[in-house]
Structure 1
Amino acid sequence: MDRTDRFINNSAPKKLLLIFLISLAISACAAFFISDKCADRIVRDQIRSELSVAGGKGLTELPDEDSISAGEEIFRKYSINRNISPKLLKSYRSVRRTIFIPVYGLFAAISAFWFFLSLRELMAIYRDLEALRNECLAAADSSEGTITLYGEDLGSVHRISDAAELLVNRLNNMKFSLSSEQRYLRTFLTDLSHQIKTSLAVVRLNTDMLTELDDLSEEQRERFSDEIQLNLDAMEKLVIEAIKLAKLDADAVEYTMEPNDVSSVCALAIKRISPLLRRKNISISKNLPQGITMLCDKSWLCEAVENILKNSADHSECTEMTADITDDPVMVRIILSDNGKGIPQEDIPKLFERFSSKSRDTTMYSSGLGMSIAQKIVRAHGGDILVYSEPDKGTRFEFVFIK
């Protein structure tokens, strides 16, 4: 938008022009009033001087009443006296014109200077706003848009530019977050569908064999039925965990925060995981002192502890596990450790990713969604999970809750 467009398409310049024209009219009225008063005074003094001269008094002195009265006697027959209106004299208009032109010119010059200075500043503001608008439009179509700070410091345009820059930065962050969420969603759905397809393929194959093959022995039928049941259980668990993780990501979980004994939370998690530990011949030692309480949702925190224990039992190849609780004036810690194969340092940052194990179950420690769910739950309680591990030296998970 050029200067002419900015003048035409905005009302403020038109208002300035109207104010300028009004100021010219007011200046004309003021100049006319001043020139009229000055001309009246000057012509009256001229009349008094002429009467004084006619009365026989020289101009070297100021006219006095006697000489003026003598002059009035001389001009009585012409009806001329000191009270005659100056406007009746021929010189009045020329005197008034002589005074009016410079006075009006001065007022008009001041008004014109104010008008052009104000218009210039206003056009500069419009120019900055137009440039700011173009940058905002460019930033709306780009993920790396930037905003220039226009105007003087602490000025309105500068503050608007600063606010626009903040808005664009937040917009860029939102675009980045949405892009990351889209990538995560695509990966998540791909992995989830892959996990389900595998189990569905086994279920479909075994079902077809049960229905189409008549010469199967009772032992084979039981084996196929058990495999179908196992895969159905796995799919059910996977779907439940996926829904649970989606609720955690959307902050749709309502935690019931109450004072709970941390030892009872850990004891419940160990009790629920005990059948798996017995099946894998894993012993667990406990150091769970009672009396250590914290605000938490018992069922959700119990699930976080259970998920860590289950992943250790499934993937660490350990034979022993320990569960400890420590308390000090600063924090409460739940420590879960094992004597398994440990985790390579390069794999620790991926430990809490969804489906991080994929097909590398023999080398990756975490699998599925359990670790991600545990991390979400602990962070929702104001804590975090720290991991300490070395290959062949076991792994230690610490739930840290700052008081």
Structure 2
Amino acid sequence: MSGYILWTFYAFFMQSRQTDLENWATALSESVADVLKEKDTQRVQLIVQRYGAPANITLRVFDAQGLLLATSAPQTDRQITNWLPIPGVLEALHGRSVQGLAKGVLSTDDRLYIAKPITRNGQLLGILRISITLEQFQKQFARVIWTISAALGITIFLCTLVSDRLARSLSKPIEVMRNFAIRVGGGQFDGRLTIRQSNELDQLATELNRMSARLKSLDEERRAFLANVSHELRTPVSNVQVTIEALERGAVDEPELRDRFFQTINEEAKRLAGLIHDLLDLGRLEAGVTLLEIQAVALQSVISRAIRAMEVRMQAKNVTVQVDVDDLQVMGDSERLLQAFLNLLDNAIKYSTPNACIFIAASRHKQQALISIRDQGSGISETNLPRIFEQFYTTSHSTKQSGVGLGLAIAKRIIEAHGGSITARSKPGQGAVFTLSLPLES
């Protein structure tokens, strides 16, 4: 930018000086033409001496043959015998006005010149040549160059300092975030990142803190999941192992005891198989690898199948069902939806009091089917309510019931895999209500 400004300034000055030369030459050529017409050589010399300045401006007048008539620098010009090689003289003798940049006649300094023919009534009377020195301008321009160069150097130095400081201010928080990410990658989730900058780095630090908190939560869930799985698998395996050892020690010879032990082994094996099946289902649903056969499904049909499957359990506990389901078609996998309803009904039956009633209702709401399953059990406390869909989570009241806390978790994953949602609300002593939403057939 500095070079462009200097070049523009230099070109503007040269153009201005050349314009001035042309104006001077035009004005003087008129005065000289009158004198040459009268062939008054003395007056020509007076005009040249008046307007010429030996140090800055050199003014020369030649006749029509190229002979010098008058000059403002007689001491220099008397050394020249042939003026035709001087720039502009020959062209002016041929009737062309010429201007440009050339060296001095007997010096090496740069000068702007103009050579202009002097004519009157189409007759060439002579030529006028004016030249001005650029030495003063060049000295001033050199000072300007040095001033701009110094200012440019200072500016570059200051910009370097500012850039270095800015780069350090940017790189330091990035380095802090890198070290934080390394710690998080190594499993250290307790740290917190603090970046006091109101920009994108501050937002990035906030997201990294949120990610770290989420990873910590997931790590805790993973540890709890592994502990729960280990506990739930260990119990039936231990029971089977103890029963087999008892049979080996002679219980097999007592028919009644043997049959009871075999029944225990069978029940524990079924419990273990069911647990493994639920774990595999939960793993597939969470990983998103379960393939759903999405099609139009009659909601009444799926709910009726779930009720029939639970009929024996409801009769055993003397629990009835009241159904109010509209004729709706939902988009989903009928078998997976059946599994979700079975888990929800199993939960409602498990916590219902004897002679209670379970209410199932379904209706349209915009492009969703809203299904509610309400029981008349003891309800869920406010402490337990937010966690009932977690894996292996069981309330203190449910520890006396069968199950390992996977049914509601599986039901939630199935409903969410269908693009729906499930929520629960309850008040202690007033039962619980599970509300599902599923997309309707378009």
Measure the CA separation in 1 of the matches of 2:282 and 2:318. Answer: 30
Amino acid at match of 1:88: L
Out of 269, 282, 288, the position equivalent to 2:306 is 269
Write out aligned runs for 1:231-242 (5 A). 231-242=268-279
Out of 169, 179, 185, the position equivalent to 1:141 is 179
Aligned residue in 2 for 1:202: 239
Measure the CA separation in 2 of the matches of 1:202 and 1:137. Answer: 55
Aligned residue in 2 for 1:88: 106
SS of the aligned residue for 1:107 comes to helix
Q: Aligned in 2, Cα 1:263/1:226: closer, same or farther, shift over 3 Å?
A: same
Out of 344, 364, 368, the position equivalent to 1:327 is 364
- Compare CA radii of gyration and give the structure with the larger one: 2
Amino acid at match of 1:374: A
Q: Aligned in 2, Cα 1:128/1:89: closer, same or farther, shift over 3 Å?
A: closer
Aligned residue in 2 for 1:15: none
* TM-score computed with the length of structure 1 as normaliser: 0.73
Q: CA deviation at 1:306?
A: 0.6
Amino acid at match of 1:136: I
Aligned residue in 1 for 2:281: 244
SS of the aligned residue for 1:69 comes to strand
Write out aligned runs for 1:1-400 (5 A). 55=45, 59-60=49-50, 65=61, 69=69, 78-79=79-80, 86-89=104-107, 97-118=135-156, 120-121=158-159, 123-142=161-180, 144-147=192-195, 162=200, 164-213=201-250, 216-289=253-326, 291-319=327-355, 320-329=357-366, 331-357=368-394, 360-361=397-398, 367-400=404-437
Amino acid at match of 1:274: E
Q: Aligned in 2, Cα 1:272/1:92: closer, same or farther, shift over 3 Å?
A: closer
Query: 1:220-257 CA deviation, whole Å, 9 max, x = no partner?
Result: 11111111111111111111111211222222222222
Q: Aligned in 2, Cα 1:77/1:97: closer, same or farther, shift over 3 Å?
A: closer
Q: CA deviation at 1:178?
A: 2.0
SS of the aligned residue for 2:394 comes to coil
Count residues with an aligned counterpart: 358
Query: 1:70-127 CA deviation, whole Å, 9 max, x = no partner?
Result: 569x97874468776725149889x665442221221332244345435534553443
Query: 1:110-154 CA deviation, whole Å, 9 max, x = no partner?
Result: 24434543553455344323322220121233353355658xxxx
Aligned residue in 1 for 2:114: none
Q: Is the 8 A contact 2:328 2:364 kept in 1?
A: yes
Aligned residue in 2 for 1:10: none
Q: Aligned in 2, Cα 1:186/1:58: closer, same or farther, shift over 3 Å?
A: closer
Q: Aligned in 2, Cα 1:82/1:375: closer, same or farther, shift over 3 Å?
A: same
* TM-score computed with the length of structure 2 as normaliser: 0.67
Query: 1:5-30 CA deviation, whole Å, 9 max, x = no partner?
Result: xxxxxxxxxxxxxx98xx59x97xx7
Structure (1 or 2) with the greater strand fraction: 2
RMSD: 4.2
Q: CA deviation at 1:390?
A: 2.7
Measure the CA separation in 1 of the matches of 2:48 and 2:320. Answer: 137
Q: Aligned in 2, Cα 1:327/1:210: closer, same or farther, shift over 3 Å?
A: same
Amino acid at match of 1:252: V
Moved more, 257-266 or 340-349: 340-349
Q: Is the 8 A contact 1:286 1:323 kept in 2?
A: yes
Moved more, 218-227 or 314-323: 314-323
SS of the aligned residue for 1:346 comes to coil
Q: Aligned in 2, Cα 1:149/1:104: closer, same or farther, shift over 3 Å?
A: farther
Q: CA deviation at 1:182?
A: 1.1
SS of the aligned residue for 1:285 comes to strand
SS of the aligned residue for 1:361 comes to helix
Moved more, 63-72 or 106-115: 63-72
SS of the aligned residue for 1:141 comes to helix
Q: CA deviation at 1:59?
A: 4.0
Structure (1 or 2) with the greater helix fraction: 1
- Alignment gaps of 5+ in structure 1: 1-18, 46-50, 151-160
